[in-house]
Amino acid sequence: MSEDNVQSDPAAAADERIKFLVIASDCPEARLAAFFAGRRARRSDARVALLHVMEPPEFGHWATVAETMRAEAMENAEALMREFATEIKAQSGEAPEEILREGLADEELRKLIKDDPLIAFLFLGASTNASGPGPLVAELASKPAYLGARAIPVVVVPGSATKDELRRLSG
């Protein structure tokens, strides 16, 4: 899937409210970030956009294997997006914009932020693992220009936070 094949909601294009961007990944801290972003969007009259990036399989000459892996990854990505969209709708009152891309996660994230001026905040969940807070949080901490030329605030939701604590913080 190339930049030309981005899946998103065409009706969302007419809405000029700011967007809170959430990275949809299969980890508990990402789910907390989605929960918090949805609640903050409701209070801020903002919208939520979900981004999931499927990294391409590395089986250049094994085309059949690569295509099978890609189809399986697409199926998993769509299920993950449905799960996140359900949570965000429950918290914000409206369905999020869903963006599914294929490529390298950091590159696709930078492209999206560059190309969509309505993205105003990035919500990330920080892992509680001893190995570190997660790749995106670590990169942002070590390289502030990681997101590219357009600086946006990053909200890092602690993976150790409870939903009750996030409810209190979101008002």
Q: What totals of helices (H) and strands (E) does the chain contain, helices first?
A: 5, 5
Position 97 pLDDT exceeds 70: yes
Assign 12 a pLDDT band (cuts: 50, 70, 90): low
Instruction: Give the three-class secondary structure for 121.
Output: strand
Average pLDDT, the chain: 85
Domains of the chain are 3-10+19-170 (3.40.50.620)
pTM > 0.85: yes or no: no
Question: Which residues neighbour 46 within 8 Å (Cβ) at sequence distance 6 or greater?
Answer: 17, 18, 19, 20, 40, 120, 121
Question: Which residues neighbour 85 within 8 Å (Cβ) at sequence distance 6 or greater?
Answer: 50, 95, 96, 98
